[in-house]
Amino acid sequence: MSKNTGKSALTPKPRKRVKRQVENDAFGAMVRRMVRAYGRRVGNGDVEALVGLTALVSDVDTAVRVAVVGLYDFGYSWADIAVRLGVSKQAVQMRYGSSSAERGGIDERIRSAGLDVTVGTLVRVFADHFPGSSPRPSACPKCGYRYPDDKSECPTMSVVRPQLYRRRTENPAALEDLLTGEQFESLIKPKSVRTNRFTVRTGRSAPCPEPVIEPSLLDLLNGKDTTP
């Protein structure tokens, strides 16, 4: 047989296969169906799988963070992202921003009020930054501060908690109206609540903590380092 002498320029080349992209709406709907099915499967008697199911809360929080940071790097502004999340631009910046000035800093409501902060403001900030206990999130639900293994409070909470505890009798109605039972107990009995969270997370008894001198609001506003 003679060698094929056809002109390559006239011979159509095979089309390159385009990778199929699943629409995000359909993909999200599938994930939600899987999560609901997961809950039903665990509810059918698999009590040991309950731990894995609750761990999805942290996984979703991480996924949202990856998505938000990716959108910001893609070119969307914090304002664009905030509109979709239904929160303020400042809240998105504090929770998902990459710098310490954007994320994990002292709540603006505390910094702007300074020493004139009211009990009502302290209560609202306390409730917003409260981490909860079951399941414990990996980051502050308000500012996005990533909790270390031995802590369960963001910098804002570490400032607000002692201030609010000392001034709790000034406006008891604010505490009753704005705090849940769990939040109120955490404020009144902070050591027992934080010990329980440590035990649940690590699976071992919490170590005996060393005495810690809580920084005052004036020290933090002036940038004073109170670390021993």
Tens digit of each residue's pLDDT (9 = 90 or more) over 27-66: 889 999 999 999 999 999 999 988 888 888 878 888 888 8
Tell me the pLDDT band of 193, cut-offs 50, 70 and 90: very low
10 Å Cβ neighbour count for 133?
16
Mean pLDDT of 171-200: 77
What is the C-alpha separation between 3 and 63, in angstroms, rounded? 57
What is the C-alpha separation between 154 and 140, in angstroms, rounded? 6
**What predicted TM-score, i.e. pTM, was given to this entire model?**
0.46
pLDDT on residue 173? 94
pLDDT on residue 177? 92
What is the C-alpha separation between 155 and 139, in angstroms, rounded? 12
